[in-house]
Amino acid sequence: MTDLSPANGTLNRVPGGGVYTLREMWEWYRIGLSLGLGIGLGGLLSALAAPRRGLVLVVAAVAAAGGAGVGYAIGGWHEAVAGGVGGALGAVVVSAFVAGALRRGGTRGGTAVLVALAALVLAAFALVPAVGYLEAVMLPALAARARRHGGERYAGLRSLARD
């Protein structure tokens, strides 16, 4: 009976090795991790500098280079490409969110703090397998939705003061 236990047997193991996760799975994980960390880095840099429209392309280039560096440190050129793409994607998409928040009345400092915290959360979520890929798909979809449903400036209590 104890031979059927996964802890005791070799049911999930590669022949001749003790690791049951295949090398290809680690490659996919590291690419997704690099992609998600690049998105987080791009979002963080966008939060700090992208309220100025002229800096969006510069921030995207710096985020792509930083994401590529992080990806290369994680595993090699596959990860470097994913990190670079994630950094540029994160910077461009998050700068659109920042610009929309500022257009609707958000303050630069408050928006930067909130977006920076959200970017750090995105980077942390990238540690979960496959979430980096989901971030890369969902973030542009959310930006397109926000652009399509772009709201007006929030009136707050000013709407009551008109009476």
**Residue range 119-156, pLDDT digits in tens:** 999 999 999 988 989 999 998 888 888 777 666 555 55
The stretches in the chain having pLDDT less than 70 are 1-21, 23-24, 50-53, 149-163
Please report the pLDDT score of residue 50 as a whole number.
58
Please report the pLDDT score of residue 16 as a whole number.
58
Cα angle 144, 60, 83; round to 5 = 90
* Residue 52 falls in which region: left (phi positive, over 0), alpha (psi -120 to 50) or beta: beta
Please report the pLDDT score of residue 98 as a whole number.
87
| Alpha carbon distances (Å) from 88 to 28, 45, 64, 83, 106 | 20, 10, 5, 9, 24
* Element holding 42 (H helix, E strand): helix 23-49
- Which residues 6+ apart lie within 8 Å of 74 measured at CB? 30, 33, 34, 37, 83
